[in-house]
Amino acid sequence: MTFVTTRWTVVLTAGRHDTSRAQIALASLCQAYWFPLYAYVRRRGYSPQDAEDFTQGFFERLLQLDSLSTVHRERGKFRAFLLAAMNHYLADEWGRASAQKRDVRKTIPLDMHRAETRYADEPLDQTSPDRLFERQWALTLLETVLQLLCREYAAAGKQELFQTLRFTITGDGNKKPYAELGDSLGMTAEAARVAAHRLRQRYRHLLRAEIAHTVATEADVEEELHYLRRILAG
Protein backbone atom coordinates (compact mmCIF):
# COMPACT_ATOMS: atom_id res chain seq x y z
CA MET A 1 0.00 0.00 0.00
CA THR A 2 1.41 3.38 -1.04
CA PHE A 3 0.78 5.89 1.70
CA VAL A 4 -0.89 9.03 0.44
CA THR A 5 -1.90 12.31 2.05
CA THR A 6 -5.18 11.65 3.86
CA ARG A 7 -7.48 13.48 6.24
CA TRP A 8 -5.33 13.40 9.39
CA THR A 9 -2.10 14.08 7.53
CA VAL A 10 -3.82 17.08 5.94
CA VAL A 11 -4.64 18.38 9.44
CA LEU A 12 -1.08 17.76 10.63
CA THR A 13 0.68 19.29 7.64
CA ALA A 14 -1.75 21.96 6.41
CA GLY A 15 -3.05 23.29 9.72
CA ARG A 16 -0.67 26.23 9.92
CA HIS A 17 -0.77 27.47 6.35
CA ASP A 18 -4.02 26.12 4.88
CA THR A 19 -6.51 26.23 7.74
CA SER A 20 -9.57 25.96 5.49
CA ARG A 21 -8.45 22.65 3.99
CA ALA A 22 -7.29 21.34 7.36
CA GLN A 23 -10.55 22.30 9.04
CA ILE A 24 -12.62 20.44 6.42
CA ALA A 25 -10.46 17.34 6.90
CA LEU A 26 -10.74 17.57 10.67
CA ALA A 27 -14.52 18.06 10.53
CA SER A 28 -14.82 14.96 8.36
CA LEU A 29 -12.90 12.90 10.92
CA CYS A 30 -14.95 14.27 13.81
CA GLN A 31 -18.21 13.47 12.03
CA ALA A 32 -17.13 9.87 11.53
CA TYR A 33 -15.70 9.26 15.01
CA TRP A 34 -17.76 11.35 17.43
CA PHE A 35 -19.53 8.43 19.12
CA PRO A 36 -16.51 6.88 20.88
CA LEU A 37 -15.88 10.29 22.42
CA TYR A 38 -19.52 10.64 23.49
CA ALA A 39 -19.43 7.16 25.05
CA TYR A 40 -16.23 8.10 26.86
CA VAL A 41 -17.84 11.18 28.40
CA ARG A 42 -20.92 9.17 29.40
CA ARG A 43 -18.74 6.55 31.11
CA ARG A 44 -17.03 9.37 32.99
CA GLY A 45 -20.38 9.75 34.76
CA TYR A 46 -22.03 12.58 32.86
CA SER A 47 -25.73 12.53 31.94
CA PRO A 48 -26.83 12.19 28.29
CA GLN A 49 -27.57 15.93 28.13
CA ASP A 50 -24.23 16.88 29.68
CA ALA A 51 -22.38 14.42 27.45
CA GLU A 52 -24.01 15.91 24.36
CA ASP A 53 -23.17 19.44 25.51
CA PHE A 54 -19.57 18.55 26.30
CA THR A 55 -19.13 16.72 23.00
CA GLN A 56 -20.60 19.58 20.98
CA GLY A 57 -18.65 22.18 22.95
CA PHE A 58 -15.46 20.21 22.44
CA PHE A 59 -15.97 20.06 18.67
CA GLU A 60 -16.85 23.74 18.52
CA ARG A 61 -13.56 24.63 20.18
CA LEU A 62 -11.55 22.03 18.24
CA LEU A 63 -12.79 23.23 14.87
CA GLN A 64 -12.01 26.88 15.53
CA LEU A 65 -9.40 28.10 13.09
CA ASP A 66 -6.81 29.03 15.72
CA SER A 67 -7.03 25.63 17.42
CA LEU A 68 -5.36 23.94 14.45
CA SER A 69 -2.09 25.67 15.24
CA THR A 70 -1.80 23.52 18.38
CA VAL A 71 -1.91 20.26 16.44
CA HIS A 72 1.60 18.88 16.21
CA ARG A 73 2.86 16.22 13.86
CA GLU A 74 4.20 14.07 16.69
CA ARG A 75 0.60 13.39 17.70
CA GLY A 76 0.55 10.76 14.99
CA LYS A 77 -2.82 9.13 15.66
CA PHE A 78 -6.10 10.97 15.52
CA ARG A 79 -7.49 8.52 18.10
CA ALA A 80 -4.86 9.47 20.69
CA PHE A 81 -5.04 13.17 19.87
CA LEU A 82 -8.83 13.21 20.20
CA LEU A 83 -8.87 11.55 23.61
CA ALA A 84 -6.06 13.74 24.98
CA ALA A 85 -7.78 16.86 23.68
CA MET A 86 -11.10 15.85 25.25
CA ASN A 87 -9.44 15.20 28.61
CA HIS A 88 -7.90 18.65 28.43
CA TYR A 89 -11.27 20.12 27.52
CA LEU A 90 -13.10 18.37 30.38
CA ALA A 91 -10.51 19.66 32.83
CA ASP A 92 -10.93 23.18 31.55
CA GLU A 93 -13.27 25.43 33.50
CA TRP A 94 -14.46 27.12 30.30
CA GLY A 95 -15.70 23.79 28.96
CA ARG A 96 -17.68 23.08 32.15
CA ALA A 97 -19.22 26.53 32.10
CA SER A 98 -20.26 26.24 28.45
CA ALA A 99 -21.93 22.89 29.11
CA GLN A 100 -23.94 24.34 31.97
CA LYS A 101 -25.27 27.13 29.76
CA ARG A 102 -26.86 24.57 27.40
CA ASP A 103 -26.31 26.92 24.44
CA VAL A 104 -23.41 25.21 22.70
CA ARG A 105 -23.56 25.52 18.92
CA LYS A 106 -24.40 22.23 17.14
CA THR A 107 -21.07 21.94 15.36
CA ILE A 108 -21.34 18.22 14.54
CA PRO A 109 -24.74 16.57 13.84
CA LEU A 110 -25.19 13.97 16.59
CA ASP A 111 -27.89 11.29 16.44
CA MET A 112 -28.58 11.29 20.17
CA HIS A 113 -31.27 8.61 20.12
CA ARG A 114 -28.95 6.20 18.33
CA ALA A 115 -26.05 7.26 20.54
CA GLU A 116 -27.93 6.39 23.73
CA THR A 117 -29.16 3.12 22.23
CA ARG A 118 -25.59 2.16 21.38
CA TYR A 119 -24.35 3.24 24.78
CA ALA A 120 -27.10 1.24 26.53
CA ASP A 121 -25.85 -1.88 24.71
CA GLU A 122 -22.54 -1.61 26.57
CA PRO A 123 -22.47 -3.92 29.62
CA LEU A 124 -22.82 -2.21 32.98
CA ASP A 125 -19.50 -3.47 34.29
CA GLN A 126 -16.32 -1.85 35.50
CA THR A 127 -14.99 -1.05 32.03
CA SER A 128 -12.98 2.15 32.34
CA PRO A 129 -13.85 5.20 30.21
CA ASP A 130 -10.54 4.82 28.34
CA ARG A 131 -11.19 1.16 27.61
CA LEU A 132 -14.73 1.93 26.44
CA PHE A 133 -13.40 4.67 24.17
CA GLU A 134 -10.91 2.25 22.61
CA ARG A 135 -13.56 -0.44 22.06
CA GLN A 136 -16.05 1.98 20.53
CA TRP A 137 -13.35 3.50 18.35
CA ALA A 138 -12.51 0.06 16.97
CA LEU A 139 -16.16 -0.86 16.40
CA THR A 140 -16.92 2.50 14.79
CA LEU A 141 -13.97 2.13 12.43
CA LEU A 142 -15.04 -1.37 11.36
CA GLU A 143 -18.65 -0.28 10.88
CA THR A 144 -17.51 2.71 8.81
CA VAL A 145 -15.56 0.41 6.51
CA LEU A 146 -18.47 -2.03 6.22
CA GLN A 147 -20.80 0.80 5.21
CA LEU A 148 -18.29 2.03 2.62
CA LEU A 149 -18.13 -1.45 1.15
CA CYS A 150 -21.92 -1.77 1.19
CA ARG A 151 -22.25 1.48 -0.77
CA GLU A 152 -19.64 0.33 -3.28
CA TYR A 153 -21.49 -2.91 -3.97
CA ALA A 154 -24.85 -1.14 -4.13
CA ALA A 155 -23.47 1.35 -6.67
CA ALA A 156 -22.28 -1.59 -8.77
CA GLY A 157 -25.71 -3.25 -8.59
CA LYS A 158 -24.41 -5.99 -6.28
CA GLN A 159 -26.40 -5.24 -3.13
CA GLU A 160 -27.81 -8.77 -2.91
CA LEU A 161 -24.34 -10.26 -3.29
CA PHE A 162 -23.02 -8.09 -0.48
CA GLN A 163 -25.90 -8.85 1.89
CA THR A 164 -25.65 -12.58 1.21
CA LEU A 165 -21.90 -12.82 1.70
CA ARG A 166 -21.25 -10.14 4.34
CA PHE A 167 -21.14 -12.81 7.05
CA THR A 168 -17.80 -13.92 5.59
CA ILE A 169 -16.45 -10.57 6.84
CA THR A 170 -18.32 -10.11 10.10
CA GLY A 171 -18.42 -13.77 11.14
CA ASP A 172 -22.09 -13.59 12.09
CA GLY A 173 -25.31 -14.44 10.29
CA ASN A 174 -26.42 -17.57 8.48
CA LYS A 175 -23.28 -19.49 7.51
CA LYS A 176 -24.68 -21.59 4.70
CA PRO A 177 -22.48 -23.79 2.48
CA TYR A 178 -21.19 -22.08 -0.63
CA ALA A 179 -23.29 -24.41 -2.80
CA GLU A 180 -26.45 -23.14 -1.13
CA LEU A 181 -25.24 -19.54 -1.24
CA GLY A 182 -24.42 -19.94 -4.92
CA ASP A 183 -27.89 -21.28 -5.66
CA SER A 184 -29.51 -18.28 -3.98
CA LEU A 185 -27.31 -15.94 -6.02
CA GLY A 186 -27.65 -17.80 -9.32
CA MET A 187 -24.01 -18.89 -9.43
CA THR A 188 -21.90 -21.95 -8.77
CA ALA A 189 -20.43 -22.80 -5.38
CA GLU A 190 -16.96 -21.94 -6.67
CA ALA A 191 -18.14 -18.60 -8.02
CA ALA A 192 -19.70 -17.79 -4.65
CA ARG A 193 -16.46 -18.73 -2.90
CA VAL A 194 -14.46 -16.47 -5.24
CA ALA A 195 -16.95 -13.63 -4.71
CA ALA A 196 -16.61 -14.00 -0.94
CA HIS A 197 -12.81 -13.93 -1.25
CA ARG A 198 -12.98 -10.74 -3.31
CA LEU A 199 -15.37 -9.20 -0.79
CA ARG A 200 -12.97 -9.88 2.08
CA GLN A 201 -10.04 -8.67 0.03
CA ARG A 202 -11.80 -5.39 -0.76
CA TYR A 203 -12.80 -5.01 2.87
CA ARG A 204 -9.19 -5.37 3.99
CA HIS A 205 -8.11 -2.77 1.44
CA LEU A 206 -10.77 -0.30 2.61
CA LEU A 207 -9.89 -0.98 6.23
CA ARG A 208 -6.26 -0.04 5.66
CA ALA A 209 -7.35 3.04 3.72
CA GLU A 210 -9.70 4.15 6.49
CA ILE A 211 -7.02 3.63 9.13
CA ALA A 212 -4.66 5.69 6.99
CA HIS A 213 -7.12 8.58 7.28
CA THR A 214 -6.55 8.63 11.06
CA VAL A 215 -2.76 8.28 11.30
CA ALA A 216 0.28 10.20 10.11
CA THR A 217 2.56 7.54 8.60
CA GLU A 218 2.41 4.17 6.88
CA ALA A 219 4.10 2.54 9.88
CA ASP A 220 1.20 3.80 12.00
CA VAL A 221 -1.24 1.84 9.82
CA GLU A 222 0.34 -1.47 10.82
CA GLU A 223 0.42 -0.36 14.43
CA GLU A 224 -3.28 0.52 14.34
CA LEU A 225 -4.14 -2.84 12.77
CA HIS A 226 -2.43 -4.60 15.67
CA TYR A 227 -4.24 -2.28 18.06
CA LEU A 228 -7.60 -3.19 16.50
CA ARG A 229 -6.94 -6.92 16.86
CA ARG A 230 -5.87 -6.48 20.48
CA ILE A 231 -8.88 -4.37 21.44
CA LEU A 232 -11.43 -6.58 19.74
CA ALA A 233 -9.86 -9.76 21.09
CA GLY A 234 -10.09 -8.43 24.64
Is-contact 63 107, C-beta < 8 A?
Answer: yes
The residue extents of the domains of the chain are 7-233
> Which pLDDT score, from 0 to 100, does residue 74 have?
46
pLDDT digits (tens, 9 = 90+) for 67-90: 555 555 545 688 888 898 899 888
Residue 226 has pLDDT above 90, yes or no: yes
Of the two residues 183 and 11, the one the predictor is more confident about is 183
pLDDT of 145 above 70: yes
Whether the per-residue pLDDT at 229 is higher than 80: the answer is: yes
Which region, left, alpha or beta, applies to residue 28 given φ > 0 means left and ψ of -120 to 50 means alpha? alpha
The pLDDT value recorded for residue 10 is 66
* pLDDT for position 96: 60
Ordered alpha helix ranges (H), the chain: 7-14, 19-32, 34-43, 48-62, 78-91, 93-101, 112-120, 129-155, 159-165, 167-170, 178-185, 189-212, 218-233
Phi, psi of 77 (to 5 degrees): -120, 130
Q: Is the pLDDT of residue 4 over 60?
A: no
What would the pLDDT profile of 154-187 be if each residue is shown by its tens digit? 999 999 999 999 999 987 766 789 999 999 999 9
**CA 32 to CA 30: how far, in whole Å?**
5
More confident call, 115 vs 103: 115
Q: Quick one: pLDDT band at residue 105, thresholds 50, 70, 90?
A: low
